[in-house]
Each structure stands twice: as structure tokens, then as C-alpha cells.
Amino acid sequence: MSEIQPMGLNEQQERVMGNVKIQHRSMTKSKFIQRMLLITFGATLMAVGLEIFLVPNHVIDGGIVGISIILSYLTGWKLGLFIFILNIPFFFIGYKQIGKTFAISTLYGILVLSIATTLLHPVPAFTADILLASVFGGIILGIGVGIVIRYGGSLDGTEILAILANKKLPFSVGEIIMFFNIFILGSAGFVFSWDRAMYSIIAYFVAFKTIDITITGLDESKSVWIISDNAKEIGEVIMNRLGRGVTYLHGEGAYSGDEKKVIFCVINRLEEAKLKEIVTENDKSAFLAVADIAEVRGGRFKKRDIH
């Protein structure tokens, strides 16, 4: 498996992977400070979700944090202590896999999380309603984790373990993480009660979806591929009515051998219905493929209102 390359490394670094040389540019001081502040904010938010909502109601999260909650309950030791100690081995094991800057950001985020959970532990729970605690705790926790991931860090060593296990097991990283979390969340049924285990699954699902929204944003972009004999007309309408730039690509039908003109463009999800209407109006038999994009940079792509 190829080495994971984190975004925004803060030192000039060259790595040779086969015959490919990758060079990372240095990060400015202001960008570094911004990253640390946002990681601090994200880790603190996660601590709030844990100590103010989930932990007092015996609802756990997945990963190393979930194991830490269970061990803290069984031993009476501080949650932050277990979060820090259990994550340290994965930090060192995966150091070469994740890169220096990402590793430092991860270590810093875990340290902030450990301290924040310790400081927030005496604060009483915001609500005793377990469902409300699971939902809102999951939302706050998910926002915190999403911010940390978005700005180059991590708060759980499970991903590192999954990456290392992926080299020896015939499963993807996502499948390995899912297996870990099913086992961890299921353990809550033996330690607390089975209804707490089910509430933990709710909290985990809410947090998972919130992390996704926090990382990608609400204004999700989509890539569009259109193959049509009326490609020129469709492209002009897209530019005039949606205000989006288009790129024409040349293709060839594998079965017919005919030359085809392919339209490629990027839109936001609010424009998807309008684009489908444009394509249908100009060519009902046109081939249309739409896919989600996590991030768009460069070019002339900007957020626009639908006309």
C-alpha cells in the first residue's frame, strides 16, 4: 500500500516513491498557528461531546476513545489518561506511514483532547435524556473530529492500526475500522447495558455523518460527464444558464468506433436538477454521469446562485 500523504506539511520534504519524487512546500507561520488553533478548537469540541453528553449517560464512541471510556468506567481512572496512553503506541507505529507533520498534529490534538476531557469531567451532564445526549453529543463530537481532520490531524489511532492491518488482511481500511467499531460498540452492551449499546450506535452514526458534512461542507460539488451528439449546444446552454465553464473532450465509442464529444463540468448539488433539465431538453438520449466531489480548487469554479 502506498504511503499516505497528508495535506499541508509544514516543512520542505522530498520523498521518492519508485521513480516519482514528491516535494512538499513549507507552511507559513500564520497557517501553522491557524492549524493549531483549529485543532485545539476541534479537540475541545470533541471533549465537550464526550464529557457533557455521552460519558455521563454511559454512551460510548467508536475507536480508541470508545475503549478508553469503557476502561475509565471499569477502573475509575481519568478518561483523558486512557485516551493519551492508548493512542501513543499507534502514533509511533504509524509515524512512517502518516508523515512528520501529520503525526505532530495528531499528537497535539490527542494531548488537547486528553487535557480537555480531564478538565470537563467535573461538569454535570447537559441532559439526562439518553436519546438527546446521543444525538447532540454525536453532532458536537462529529464537528470537533471533522475540524481536526480537515486541518491535518486525527484524534484516534484506529485508522493507523487499520492501515497497518490492511497490508496483511484481505480487507479495505474502511472495512477493518468498521469491524473494530462494531466490536467496541457491542462491548458497551456487556459493560453498561444493551440499550446503551444501541444508543452508542446512534451516537456513532450521527457523529460519522456530521464528520462527513464538516469535512466536505454543505455546498457539495459534483462532477458531470455528458456524451451527446449535441454536445456543443448543451455546453453553450450550461455556460449561459448556469454560468459554469465546460470542457470539451474527444472520445471514441468502443463498439461503434464513432468519434464522440464529451462535456465535463463541475456544479454544486443545487444545480444538478437544472443541469439534468438542460440535457434532456437538448438531447433525450444523451449519456449523463454525475459523481460527488469532496473538494474543488483552481480554475474558474466559484459558488453561484441558480438562475
pLDDT digits (tens, 9 = 90+) for 198-247: 999 999 899 888 887 887 765 567 889 999 888 899 999 999 888 888 98
Long-range contacts of 8-14 (CB under 8 A, 24+ apart): 8/35, 8/101, 8/151, 8/152, 9/99, 9/100, 9/101, 9/102, 10/35, 10/101, 11/100, 11/101, 13/99, 13/100
Spell out the residues 6+ positions from residue 220 whose beta carbon is closer than 8 angstroms to its own.
268, 269, 292, 293
Q: Which residues contact 283 (CB under 8 A, 6 or more apart)?
A: 228, 229, 230, 234
pLDDT score at 3: 38
Which amino acid belongs to residue 177? I
What is the H or E stretch that residue 238 is in?
none
Task: Provide φ and ψ at 13, rounded to 5°.
Answer: -145, 130
Residue that the C-alpha cell 438520449 belongs to: 285
Given a contact cutoff of 8 angstroms between Cβ atoms, the answer to whether 217 and 78 are in contact is no
Report pTM. Answer: 0.69
Q: Evaluate if residue 106 carries a pLDDT over 80.
A: yes
Using an 8 Å Cβ cutoff, are 11 and 101 in contact? yes
Supply the angle between the helices 100-120 and 29-48 in degrees, to the nearest 10: 40
Each residue's pLDDT tens digit, 123-169: 998 898 999 999 999 999 999 988 988 887 788 877 777 766 767 77
Residue 25's pLDDT is: 52
Instruction: State residue 129's pLDDT score.
Output: 92
Ranges in the chain annotated CATH 3.30.70.120 = 221-293
Provide the pLDDT confidence category of residue 299 given band limits of 50, 70 and 90.
Answer: low
For 17-48, the three-class secondary structure string (H helix, E strand, C coil) is ECCEEEEECCCCHHHHHHHHHHHHHHHHHHHH
First-to-final CA distance of the chain: 46
Q: Is 198 helix (H, G, I), strand (E, B) or coil?
A: helix
**DSSP calls for 42-70:** HHHHHHHIIIIIIGGGT---SHHHHHHHH
At residue 16, the pLDDT reads 33
According to CATH, the topology of domain 221-293 is Alpha-Beta Plaits (3.30.70)
pLDDT class of 22 with cuts at 50, 70, 90: very low
Rounded to 5°, the CA angle 143-148-151 comes to 120
Pairing of strands 287-293, 247-252: unpaired
Q: With 80 as the cut, is the pLDDT of residue 307 above it?
A: no
CB atoms near residue 80 (< 10 Å) = 25
203 in Cβ contact with 134 (< 8 Å): yes
CB burial string 207-240: b at 16+ within 10 A, e below: beebbeebbbeeebbbebebbbeebeebbebbee
Q: Does the structure show a pLDDT above 50 at 48?
A: yes
